[in-house]
Amino acid sequence: MDEKEIERLLDKFDRSSLKNFELAQDDFKLKFSKRDDDEHVVVEDPAQPGSTTADSLGHGQNSQAQTASQSDQPVSQNVTEIKAPLVGVVYFAPSPDKPAYKKQGDHVEKGDVVCVIEAMKMINEVKSDVTGTISNILVEDGSMVEYDQPIFQVTKG
């Protein structure tokens, strides 16, 4: 199974009402699971024994700054959030030596790539679903994000 097929399955799973999905093909296994906000995220890597919680991967390091920035700026009807479509590490540029996809104050069109999320050694583009201006960046570059966690605030218009 290649990356495109996995992304297609993930997209369909994300839009479905399913809570869990498992696929086994020969020695390849794939599991998707949607969780409630009060559940803990556990990331398991078969190459390494044991499992690690998302908080120990660095999420907790940025939660204070993130909470402060979110509470300082109330979300109005004119502001929409671009949220993480999956759990992983967010990067605002395609590589360290390249400029950021979008920064605060930049205009964004629906469908523009705004950042990427690395999950399971795969890079996944995050595209804007709205047109407007990026008014606030809610997470730090290189930080761990959770599923459906707001990354950007976009002022429509």
Give the domain ranges of the chain. Answer: 3-55, 76-156
Token pair for 59: 């999420």
CA distance 157 to 107: 9
* pLDDT at 57 exceeding the cut of 60: no
CA-to-CA separations, 144 to 109, 117, 129, in angstroms, rounded: 25, 9, 21
CA distance 98 to 120: 23
Mean pLDDT score, 16-24: 76
Predicted local confidence at residue 59, as pLDDT: 38
Name the residue with higher pLDDT: 78 or 2: 78
Predicted local confidence at residue 138, as pLDDT: 95
The pTM of this model reads 0.53
Rg (CA), the chain: 16
For 76-156, the fitting CATH number among 3.30.70.2660, 3.90.1150.10, 3.40.50.1970, 2.40.50.100 is 2.40.50.100
For the residues of 97-138, what is the DSSP string, one character each? TS--S--TT-EE-TT-EEEEEEETTEEEEEE-SS-EEEEEE-
pLDDT over 70 for what percent of the chain? 73
Token pair for 68: 């402060």
Instruction: Work out the mean pLDDT of the chain and round it to a whole number.
Output: 76
